A and B are shown apart, each in its own frame.
Chain A
């Protein structure tokens, strides 16, 4: 079945460093791809999405490009802040039911001043 694989964390960075969190997927078709963020003690929030190949989703300085040839959707940010410390989840839509999301295991990001 469809699945999402994320790099294991935690990812530890200094403030203003460049961030990459890797995400690859397996799917029988052309799913939509998402990144969600979870701050401590809160629910998940949609960060960005891309619905077709070569689309780039972006929000709050974060970006991710839907790469069909490498089945990837890596999350990047040019300069992280302490406030970006959170858990990041990659997800894909189940094409048999486009409203059902399949999540990766999450990657914890810790940013230090």
Chain B
């Protein structure tokens, strides 16, 4: 099925550990982004990419790293996990410019203890 695939679905980390959240899409979307969802705060943009080799920061980039080596993949790296990074993370993608609407992955629920 076409769409956005995120792995893992659940993850528990200890403070200070690093990990990578995976995101892949098979719709040839140019634009990909990572959001975090926290109670009462809606979705906040972490990083986004407008194409392979091009990334930029969103609203809450600190503590996260991204790269875009291919059109399909957009991994999110947590460099040194902190309890404040406990959240649900969503990857989303869309075609460029035209307000097509995003396709979202099913999310990764991350707990940092």
Whether A106 touches B42, Cβ cut-off 8 Å, given contacts A43-B105, A49-B101, A93-B99, is yes
A contact patch SS: strand
In the bound complex, residues from chain A placing their C-beta under 8 Å from that of B41 are: 105
A36 to B4: give the CA distance in the assembly, Å: 16
Number of A-B contacts (CB under 8 A): 53
Q: A97 CB to closest chain B CB, in angstroms?
A: 8
A45 to B98: give the CA distance in the assembly, Å: 17
Answer yes or no: B31 CB below 8 A from chain A CBs: yes
Number of A residues, CB within 8 Å of B? 22
Number of B residues, CB within 8 Å of A? 27
Answer yes or no: B50 CB below 8 A from chain A CBs: yes
Answer yes or no: A42 CB below 8 A from chain B CBs: yes
Q: List 13 A-B contacts (CB under 8 A).
A: A4-B42, A32-B99, A34-B101, A42-B107, A44-B102, A44-B104, A49-B99, A49-B101, A98-B99, A101-B45, A101-B102, A104-B42, A105-B40
Binding site for A on B (CB under 8 A): 4, 31, 33, 35, 40-45, 48, 50, 58, 90, 92, 94, 96-99, 101-107
